[in-house]
Structure 1
Amino acid sequence: MGAVIVVVGENVIDLLPGRDGGTRALVGGGPANTAIALARLGAPVRFAGRAGEDAHADAVRARLAAEGLTWTDVPGPTPVAEVTLDDAGQASYAFRLDGAADFTRAAPPALSPRDAVHLGSLAAYLEPGATVLETWIERVHTSHVVSFDPNVRPTVLDLDAARARTERYAPMVALMRVSTPDVAALYGDEPPASAAARWLASGCGLVVVTDGEAPAAAHGPLGTVTVPIPRVDVVDTVGAGDTFDAAMLAWLAARDALTPASFARAAASRDAVAAMLRYAAAASALACTREGADPPTFAEIPL
């Protein structure tokens, strides 16, 4: 049996601007978006997420159930993100997180021998669950491929602590995708290529940097591979990076490249890395043509 991708992290209710001047509530959350995108792309996925007990939780459960995903019910409210869109559809977020269900994790999920792990976003940084997850990754990263998306939210994180945790994660992860805003939030004016070089030197297998409509760049053992992002009519960018993450993992899963040895072989092939990036760029671009976090399906973006 091939690898199952175990996605760890949060659901979030995105409150988007309404056309009538009000707001619309859509279910999102970076890790949940990634899990749903993986399911739609036909990849074997398990979501180690949680649903709270407030009025938003029913929408969270319905969304996950519609994609064949499961969750754990726990006390606490659902995280809420108030989304602001600029003229180009780029999203920014203001969060309400106090006591939220996703950040009180007492134990990590169990893994089978061939499973891979994807984590990141708020659940990777907010206590008390963040330390539980970091300790778990310390234990499993030598035997399982770990994918990490920092998805940094400066308005709710202690950036000094987040920077230190990111540096601790880098040597433990096979695949890290960061956006240029992530790097800027953590490191100011440091060029993304410089941060990527440091993470690779510390032991990270492959660092992928995305920058909106600019080409995506993968920094790895054979240098840097870049691919263009398809030009589309952007509705908004909500969930675009999460879809990029999922599409890379789906591409790797379809080629049985999610064990430590097989991932290392893929990362050492410029052709494989370029093909993975092209697939992820196409999937992410298609997600930007839709409102909210609405990733494409396997039929739309075949592997």
Structure 2
Amino acid sequence: MTGRPITVAGEALVDVVQDQQAREVPGGSPANVALGLARLGAPVEFATWLGDDARGHRIADHLRASGVRLVDDVFRATRTSSAVVRLAPDGQPRYEFDIEWDLPALPQTPRWLHVGSIGAFLEPGARQVAELARRTAAAGGTVSFDPNIRPALLGSAADERVVFERLAAIADVVKLSDEDAAWLYPGLPEDTVLDRLLAIGVQIAALTTGAAGSLLATSTHRVSVPGERVDVIDTVGAGDSYMATLIWQLQHHGGTFGPISRSMLTELGRVSTRAAAITVTRPGADLPSVDDLVPAGTEPETVTSR
């Protein structure tokens, strides 16, 4: 695919995984989304904040190997951020963070901007992320947002819900997990959470529900997409894989989308679910390539009304 890249803005860090033996692997939700988009063949640039150290350059090399372009001035942090990851028996990760976050300047307004996770909430970078999102929307670009909530780094749910909704109101596409929804909107049913997102202006809202699958909603359609039965190794990167694949499908034929039919909404969820299912069968955030998802000689279907 040619043309201007998708811009992903957010944190990249080293996951220090504590399992049979301690190991360090590149991570961070926005970094994973950038990686996933590049592996699917999308042009992507990544605005992040790394230390000029061994960990930072290892992350950069990992992303570049899959085709991600790093924007200028990313190596300005005093240290590369890290997270200690401990996997529960069911493969779910638990994190302890050491984060430094800011955002390098982007002289060009993105045509598609994806933001999320720590980078959307932690200052001083969060303020710049929000401004970049506003700038993108004002210029007619598309904004996608995945909060990927990390409670250990945040204030109260009530305070952070204000931050979340302020950014969600700018976004065209919002994906959150059932855990995100439960933290941001305790006690609200999942359908009510989707209603709330649509009411503040989100065009496509997706809510992932782990092995059960996902719910996707627009102002005219709502679908439930079942999960795939697979042998889970760990769930690191599953939500990021879903998000990257959703973006990839939506922008594949030009970066804009009109009214979406029920069948197309279902297909968006089905392919994104497939990507997440592939990821959980692999250790770490090893997101799928386009060849893993799309049979040879075919392309994702254009997102248009039918």
Give the structure-2-normalised TM-score: 0.89
Verify: 1:150 aligned to 2:147, yes or no: yes
Contact 2:203 2:218 in 1 (8 A): yes
Q: Distance in 2 between matches of 1:190 and 1:116?
A: 31
Q: Which secondary structure state, in structure 2, belongs to the residue aligned with residue 16 of structure 1?
A: strand
Q: Which moved more, 1:52-61 or 1:23-32?
A: 52-61
Cα offsets for 1:66-110 (capped at 9, x unmatched) = 12223222132111111121221111211112xx2xx12263462
Cα offsets for 1:219-251 (capped at 9, x unmatched) = 211231111111110100101100101101111
2:231 corresponds in structure 1 to 233
How many residues are aligned here? Answer: 289
Q: 1:253, CA displacement in angstroms?
A: 2.2
Verify: 1:92 aligned to 2:91, yes or no: no
Verify: 1:287 aligned to 2:288, yes or no: no
Q: Distance in 2 between matches of 1:270 and 1:164?
A: 31
Verify: 1:191 aligned to 2:183, yes or no: no
2:304 corresponds in structure 1 to none
- 4+ runs deviating over 4 angstroms: none
Q: Distance in 1 between matches of 2:195 and 2:216?
A: 11
Q: Distance in 2 between matches of 1:248 and 1:221?
A: 18
Q: Which secondary structure state, in structure 2, belongs to the residue aligned with residue 148 of structure 1?
A: strand
**Cα separation, partners in 2 of 1:3 and 1:58, compared to 1, 3 Å:** closer
Q: Which secondary structure state, in structure 2, belongs to the residue aligned with residue 183 of structure 1?
A: helix
Which of 265, 275, 279 is the aligned partner of 1:273? 265
Q: 1:170, CA displacement in angstroms?
A: 2.0
1:131 corresponds in structure 2 to 127
Letter in 1 for 2:286: D
1:247 corresponds in structure 2 to 245
Q: 1:39, CA displacement in angstroms?
A: 0.6
Q: Which secondary structure state, in structure 2, belongs to the residue aligned with residue 244 of structure 1?
A: helix
Q: Which has the higher contact order (CA 8 A, sep 6+)?
A: 1
Contact 1:108 1:132 in 2 (8 A): no
2:80 corresponds in structure 1 to 78
Q: 1:136, CA displacement in angstroms?
A: 2.3
What are the equivalent positions in structure 2 for 1:45-84 lying under 5 Å apart?
Answer: 45-71=44-70, 72-84=74-86
Cα offsets for 1:8-62 (capped at 9, x unmatched) = 111111111232xx31111111001000111111112111223212331121122
2:22 corresponds in structure 1 to 23
Q: Distance in 1 between matches of 2:55 and 2:104?
A: 23
Q: 1:2, CA displacement in angstroms?
A: 4.7
Contact 1:48 1:109 in 2 (8 A): no
**Cα separation, partners in 2 of 1:47 and 1:242, compared to 1, 3 Å:** same
**Cα separation, partners in 2 of 1:14 and 1:149, compared to 1, 3 Å:** same
Give the structure-1-normalised TM-score: 0.90
**Percent of aligned positions that are identical:** 36
2:35 corresponds in structure 1 to 36
What do you get for the CA RMSD once the two structures are aligned? 1.6
Contact 2:175 2:205 in 1 (8 A): yes
Q: Which secondary structure state, in structure 1, belongs to the residue aligned with residue 223 of structure 2?
A: strand
Q: 1:3, CA displacement in angstroms?
A: 5.4
2:297 corresponds in structure 1 to none
Q: Which moved more, 1:71-80 or 1:117-126?
A: 71-80
Q: Which secondary structure state, in structure 2, belongs to the residue aligned with residue 287 of structure 1?
A: helix
1:111 corresponds in structure 2 to 109
**Any gaps of 5 or more consecutive residues in structure 1?**
none
**Any gaps of 5 or more consecutive residues in structure 2?**
295-299, 301-306
Contact 1:15 1:83 in 2 (8 A): yes
